[in-house]
């Protein structure tokens, strides 16, 4: 009896122990962060830094600001409603949940094809394995994790370790490459060039499509929900955004140092791997191996994140699906992604840039539904009065993402046919 009382007293208001809540929040932070810093973002950063130089810093700032508004709104609404994104959409505007689910699942599938391609490129750089075989091996590792009886624990531990290693290794290359930090900081706020297609693609690669909902759905599965957990959820969202923002800027500086030194990076050749070229130019063969490790860590965690989050949307079609059945569906999702990766002939680097843009086009649709739910359906949140300042930022961000999507839809789809 006394033991139970002690256990209850150490629990959070939501019935979770402080330790369990910290573990849930950490898992959500790193799932969001590693999903946002996948092989697509690494390849996109190398490609656009080569094209725009220091001016690309403005696109990174824009992505961080948009990330801040999107994630804070999504995490808050999912936590308060205790529902998945597709169920929130259906409750707010009947039928839209099914549309959102299809868009996220299809977008996640495309993204996972690129993620598997990225894992193949990573193992190729790190160990010399053929990219197709490397992608297959990586996909099988992800499948084994979901078939494990302790899949949830394995996912959480892998993404946390991989996330820390990615930041440390990239920071080393950024220091070695010696980037023009002053010019980068100046152009972060006053860029010489603004390219909407670039911003939409980088936003899509870091917060679009499935990435928008990855951390929020992880919190839901861990039971970290309700107004009593709102403060901790807000802090976790901000921490996650800070982690992803740091990694984005460090990666940009690592590649900028190489570009600014006059090294020519090929971004248009059929087998072009611009990030690998940059890391190798900065730190020689060691840099090339480091690139392989960073890309593989980013890719394997993104394969897991994309599959986990995309499949979490199928509950809108089958409410009573068990966790075991979801894991099996996730395995099938990864296997289908692997099949398409093997048969599609689009170069992996080019595919990674395209899928970022595709997810950038999906982003405003889901965000619009969520902002409407926050504005007009407080009943879904137990009558909670949604902060008007956050709602206003959400409306502005929503309008901006629609405008960017309109301006860049042509250039993004042109990436598929670019030689």
Tell me how many degrees the CA angle 208-368-203 measures, rounded to the nearest 5: 20
Render pLDDT for 59-70 as a digit per residue (tens, 0 to 9). 899 888 988 899
Place of tokens 């689910």: 101
What 3-state class would DSSP assign to 416?
A: coil
Average pLDDT, the chain: 84
Give residue 405's pLDDT band: very low, low, confident or very high (50, 70, 90): confident
Closest listed residue to residue 298, CA positions, set 105, 125, 106, 75: 125
**Percent helix, strand and coil across the chain, each to the nearest 5:** 80, 0, 15
Whether the pLDDT of residue 235 is over 90: the answer is: no
CA–CA dist 266, 47 (Å, integer): 9
Output the pTM of the full model. Answer: 0.81
What 3-state class would DSSP assign to 34?
A: helix
- Reading the block at residue 160, the tokens are 């946390």
- Compute the CA torsion angle 278, 280, 283, 286 (nearest 10 deg): 140
Render pLDDT for 165-207 as a digit per residue (tens, 0 to 9). 888 888 999 999 999 999 999 999 999 988 877 887 777 767 7
Give residue 396's pLDDT band: very low, low, confident or very high (50, 70, 90): very high
Closest listed residue to residue 159, CA positions, set 292, 290, 300: 300
Closest listed residue to residue 214, CA positions, set 97, 81, 312, 116: 312
Contact 235, 219 (CB under 8 A): no
Taking residue 345's Cβ as centre, other Cβ atoms within 10 Å add up to 6
What 3-state class would DSSP assign to 50?
A: helix
> How far from each other are the two terminal CA atoms of the chain, in whole angstroms?
71
């Amino acid at each position: 009896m006394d033991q139970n009382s002690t256990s209850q007293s150490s629990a959070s208001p939501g019935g979770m122990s402080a330790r369990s809540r910290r573990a849930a929040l950490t898992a959500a932070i790193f799932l969001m962060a590693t999903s946002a810093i996948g092989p697509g973002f690494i390849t996109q950063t190398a490609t656009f830094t080569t094209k725009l130089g220091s001016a690309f810093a403005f696109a990174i700032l824009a992505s961080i600001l948009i990330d801040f508004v999107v994630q804070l709104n999504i995490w808050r609404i999912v936590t308060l409603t205790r529902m998945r994104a597709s169920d929130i959409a259906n409750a707010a505007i009947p039928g839209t949940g099914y549309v959102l689910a299809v868009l996220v699942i299809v977008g996640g599938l495309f993204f996972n094809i690129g993620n598997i391609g990225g894992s193949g490129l990573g193992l190729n750089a790190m160990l010399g394995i053929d990219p197709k075989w490397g992608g297959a091996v990586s996909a099988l590792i992800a499948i084994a994790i979901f078939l494990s009886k302790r899949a949830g624990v394995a996912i959480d531990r892998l993404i946390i370790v991989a996330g820390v290693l990615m930041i440390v290794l990239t920071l080393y290359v950024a220091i070695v490459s010696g980037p023009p930090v002053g010019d980068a900081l100046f152009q972060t706020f006053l860029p010489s060039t603004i390219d909407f297609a670039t911003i939409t693609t980088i936003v899509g690669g870091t917060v679009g499509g499935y990435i928008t909902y990855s951390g929020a759905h992880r919190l839901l599965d861990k039971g970290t929900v309700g107004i009593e957990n709102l403060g901790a959820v807000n802090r976790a969202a901000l921490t996650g955004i800070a982690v992803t923002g740091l990694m984005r800027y460090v990666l940009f500086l690592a590649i900028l140092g190489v570009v600014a030194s006059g090294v020519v990076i090929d971004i248009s050749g059929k087998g072009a791997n611009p990030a690998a070229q940059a890391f190798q130019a900065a730190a020689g063969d060691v840099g090339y191996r480091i690139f392989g490790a960073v890309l593989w860590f980013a890719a394997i965690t993104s394969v897991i994140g994309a599959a986990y989050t995309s499949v979490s949307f199928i509950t809108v079609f089958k409410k009573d699906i068990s966790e075991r059945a979801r894991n099996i569906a996730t395995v099938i999702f990864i296997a289908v992604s692997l099949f398409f990766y093997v048969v599609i002939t689009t170069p992996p680097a080019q595919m990674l840039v395209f899928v970022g843009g595709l997810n950038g086009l999906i982003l405003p649709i889901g965000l619009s539904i969520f902002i409407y739910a926050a504005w007009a359906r407080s009943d879904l949140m137990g009558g909670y009065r949604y902060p008007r300042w956050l709602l206003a930022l959400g409306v502005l961000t929503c309008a901006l993402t629609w405008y960017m999507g309109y301006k860049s839809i042509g250039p993004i789809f042109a990436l598929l046919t670019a030689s």
